[in-house]
């Protein structure tokens, strides 16, 4: 039975709250908005610098979060990850992969999702995810590995499964030493703060379950993106149900992007761990840091204050989204001046102070984070009595909407202000390439505007988003009229040629490589695999020899990160993978090849044949490139009329 006397109540009293400075008046406004008692906020004892454990202002020496010895006082044997979504699933899988001695159980109330995680068809598409899940969930066979000389071999022991998926939430929480909270935190749709404030219902529910069933001392880790000060809310829930019991709360925001989740998890730029300046807080942070240290150099683990950690996720996403809105604002100017936004992005991106990332103009950002997180930031600012700050960030969202409206409006204007009797083909539905996630796509807004004009048909093709997911997203438009066929005009088709044939206009709404007509796809867009590792460690090291990775990352001085190398799964690993559980006879995924949103092999890089499409679309062959993926001269050479966001018309 896991017990840590050090996690008792007494050590938390190391910080004397009676001498903590009073709460600033603006904080109380925020506290009111989020129902957090202002006087309970421990504002006075926060660490001041990233990466350096700080003594509290009360001169109590706190344990070093980055020292492995600190972690040894809080042994972690079982982790419960609540929420088997885009964040919870991949994160738990990678933690389990690198910590074979720890049992990681991912729980979700959605039985179908759990069944999918246990099957051959994972519920989400992420390059490399399947390999990671297969090793951690199914185990690996013993194998012989070539040693330093041709005559020396080493044996890699068989690996037991240590990643499990279950709907038994309570039972799993009861035995967990650490709970990763990865439930969804969407924007509120009604009530106070609707449209901007974060809906905390799922997180509150998960916390209540933990409060009622977890062992004393269980470490709670916020993985979901949450408003700043949520840690206090969690502590209040725990205190209400289990008064006097210490449950350390950590913030460990996830910075993974969809489509590169496994690479982002395998090679994170940084791992931020936010904790309170208490002994139990530091020990808990050390335990979490130790899990990551199995594959992440400790130099990249950044322990900071819990409130900074919560806010830094919102700040990071807001900064990234702001760059996109900034370049998109320039794209509108370009279209009226014949300047080229691509050339501008390239030239300003060469300035190292600006850099080239996130300067791609287009339809604007989608995805489940940017809009939601900026909305949450504006609500936070307003709640803190900072309307100017709220207005500043709101403008990033306004610019994003403007870009979609402008694009759709331009399509309609170009087609003589009417879509009656016309067919519009849409290539790409996902909010970005390499994901089958159909949620929060700019395509939805574009389709909404087009539908107002009563088109004869809108035909959508996306290589990874499933028909069912796209239709579910479109169903929010059903209020006023029928949208999907047979009653409505929208149809989802399984190949791009069927989508484009006989259409009056082709719209590119996702930057899939297959829609490009320029140079062949570069290597960087090939699927990523678990063969990518840090600092020269081989795939076999990563998968099976955790102690060796510990040596590489802890005892050796940190070496600079290598440029990510994309290589296929090492051949010897294929021999170690155990057979996957067979599908039931009535498996719908196996039966239906059109359910491409699942983990079915789909070619997303072989370019489509634009020359063929040019023969099947209607004159004057309009193509509207909302993602800047097409080479204009080549398209015009094939007889298309091309309109690209941020560039002069080409025909």
Give the residue ranges of the annotated binding site for NAD(+): 108, 113, 185, 225, 258, 372, 439
Indicate which single residue of 23, 280, 368, 459 sits in contact with ligand UDX (rule: CB under 6 A): 368
Indicate which single residue of 103, 263, 360, 516 sits in contact with ligand UDX (rule: CB under 6 A): 360
Indicate which single residue of 178, 285, 369, 443 sits in contact with ligand UDX (rule: CB under 6 A): 369
Q: Which is nearer to ligand UDX, 428 or 539 (CB)?
A: 428
**Rounded distance, CA 414 to CA 505, Å?**
10
Give least dist CB 570 to ligand UDX, A: 28
C-beta separation of 449 from 405 below 8 A: yes
Indicate which single residue of 42, 199, 254, 513 sits in contact with ligand UDX (rule: CB under 6 A): 254
| Phi and psi torsions of 391, nearest 5° | -65, -35
Residues numbered 418-457 forming contacts with ligand UDX, rule: CB under 6 A: 431-432
**Rounded distance, CA 499 to CA 491, Å?**
9
CA torsion 388→389→395→396, rounded to 10°?
170
Say whether the peptide bond before residue 356 is cis (omega within 30 degrees of 0).
no
**Rounded distance, CA 82 to CA 133, Å?**
17
**Rounded distance, CA 374 to CA 321, Å?**
8
Q: Which of the 8 DSSP states describes residue 196?
A: T
| Binding of residue 317 to ligand UDX (CB under 6 A) | yes
| Binding of residue 309 to ligand UDX (CB under 6 A) | no
**Nearest-CB residue for ligand UDX:** 85
Q: Which is nearer to ligand UDX, 209 or 541 (CB)?
A: 209
| Binding of residue 463 to ligand UDX (CB under 6 A) | no
| Binding of residue 183 to ligand UDX (CB under 6 A) | yes
H-type helices in 242-295, by residue range? 261-266, 279-292
**Rounded distance, CA 313 to CA 231, Å?**
14
Indicate which single residue of 205, 558, 564, 639 sits in contact with ligand UDX (rule: CB under 6 A): 205
Q: Considering only 109-117, 330-338, 480-488, 538-546, which stretch makes contact with ligand UDX by CB under 6 A?
A: 109-117
Indicate which single residue of 39, 110, 343, 609 sits in contact with ligand UDX (rule: CB under 6 A): 110
Nearest Cα neighbor of 373 from 444, 322, 329, 305 is 322
Angle subtended at Cα 129 by Cα 434 and Cα 77, rounded to the nearest 5 degrees = 145
| Binding of residue 161 to ligand UDX (CB under 6 A) | no
Q: Considering only 35-43, 76-84, 331-339, 573-581, which stretch makes contact with ligand UDX by CB under 6 A?
A: 76-84
Q: Which residues are designated catalytic?
A: 369
Cβ of 558: how many Cβ atoms within 10 Å?
14
Give least dist CB 9 to ligand UDX, A: 28
Indicate which single residue of 85, 248, 281, 305 sits in contact with ligand UDX (rule: CB under 6 A): 85
**Rounded distance, CA 163 to CA 169, Å?**
15
Binding site as annotated, residues:
108, 113, 185, 225, 255-258, 313, 358-362, 366, 372, 432, 439
Nearest Cα neighbor of 91 from 78, 79, 109 is 79
Residue 444, judged by CB atoms within 10 A of its CB (0-12, 13-18, 19+), counts as buried
Which residues would be at the binding site for ligand UDX (CB under 6 A)? 82-88, 108-110, 113, 182-185, 202, 205-206, 224-225, 254-258, 317, 320, 324, 358-360, 362, 365-370, 431-432
């Amino acid at each position: 039975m896991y017990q840590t006397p050090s996690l008792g109540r007494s050590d938390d009293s190391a910080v004397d709250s009676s001498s903590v400075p009073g709460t600033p008046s603006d904080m109380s406004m925020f506290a009111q908005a989020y129902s957090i008692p202002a006087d309970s906020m421990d504002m006075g004892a926060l660490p001041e610098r990233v990466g350096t454990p700080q003594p509290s202002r009360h001169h109590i020496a706190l344990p070093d979060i980055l020292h492995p010895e600190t972690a040894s006082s809080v042994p972690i044997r079982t982790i419960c990850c609540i929420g088997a979504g885009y964040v919870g699933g991949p994160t738990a899988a990678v933690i389990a992969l690198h910590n074979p001695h720890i049992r990681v159980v991912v729980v979700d109330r959605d039985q179908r999702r759990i069944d999918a995680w246990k099957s051959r068809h994972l519920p989400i598409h992420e390059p490399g995810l399947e390999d990671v899940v297969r090793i951690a969930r199914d185990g690996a066979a013993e194998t012989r590995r070539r040693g330093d000389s041709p005559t020396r071999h080493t044996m890699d022991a068989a690996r037991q499964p240590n990643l499990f998926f279950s709907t038994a939430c309570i039972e799993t929480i009861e035995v967990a030493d650490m709970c990763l909270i990865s439930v969804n935190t969407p924007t509120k749709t009604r009530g106070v703060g609707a449209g901007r404030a974060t809906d905390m219902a799922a997180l509150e529910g998960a916390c209540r379950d933990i409060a009622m069933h977890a062992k004393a001392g269980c470490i709670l880790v916020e993985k979901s993106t949450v408003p700043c000060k949520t840690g206090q809310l969690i502590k209040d829930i725990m205190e209400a149900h289990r008064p006097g019991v210490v449950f350390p709360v950590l913030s460990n925001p996830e910075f993974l992007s969809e489509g590169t989740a496994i690479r982002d998890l395998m090679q994170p730029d940084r791992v931020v761990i936010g904790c309170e300046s208490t002994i139990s807080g530091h020990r808990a942070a050390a335990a979490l840091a130790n899990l990551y240290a199995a594959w992440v150099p400790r130099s990249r683990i950044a322990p900071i204050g819990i409130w900074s950690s919560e806010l830094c996720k919102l700040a990071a996403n807001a900064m990234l989204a702001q760059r996109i809105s900034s370049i998109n604002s320039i794209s509108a100017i370009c279209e009226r001046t014949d300047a080229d936004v691509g050339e501008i992005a390239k030239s300003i991106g060469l300035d190292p102070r600006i850099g080239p990332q996130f300067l791609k103009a287009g339809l604007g950002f989608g995805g489940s984070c940017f809009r939601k997180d900026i909305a949450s930031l504006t609500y936070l600012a307003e709640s803190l009595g900072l309307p100017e700050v709220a207005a500043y960030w709101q403008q990033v969202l306004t610019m994003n909407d403007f870009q979609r409206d402008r694009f759709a409006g331009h399509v309609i204007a170009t087609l003589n202000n009417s879509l009656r009797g016309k067919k519009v083909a849409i290539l790409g539905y996902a909010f970005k390439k390499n994901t089958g996630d159909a949620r929060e796509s700019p395509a939805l807004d574009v389709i909404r505007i087009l539908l107002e004009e009563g088109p004869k048909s809108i035909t959508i093709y996306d290589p990874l988003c499933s028909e069912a997911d796209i239709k579910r997203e479109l169903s929010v438009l059903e209020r006023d009229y029928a949208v999907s066929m047979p009653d409505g005009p929208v149809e989802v088709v399984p190949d791009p040629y069927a989508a484009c044939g006989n259409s009056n206009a082709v719209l590119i709404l996702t930057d899939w490589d297959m829609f490009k007509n320029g140079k062949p796809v570069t290597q960087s867009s090939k699927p990523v695999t678990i063969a990518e590792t840090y600092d020269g460690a081989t795939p076999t090291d990563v998968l099976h020899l955790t102690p060796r990775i510990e040596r590489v990352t802890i005892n050796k001085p940190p070496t600079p990160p290598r440029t990510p190398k994309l290589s296929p799964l090492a051949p010897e690993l294929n021999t170690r993978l155990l057979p996957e559980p067979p599908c039931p006879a009535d498996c719908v995924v196996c039966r239906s090849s059109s359910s491409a949103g699942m983990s079915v092999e789909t070619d997303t890089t072989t370019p489509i044949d634009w020359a063929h499409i040019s023969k099947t679309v209607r004159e004057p062959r309009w193509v509207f490139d909302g993602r800047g993926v097409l080479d204009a001269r080549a398209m015009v050479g094939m007889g298309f009329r091309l309109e690209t966001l941020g560039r002069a018309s080409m025909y």
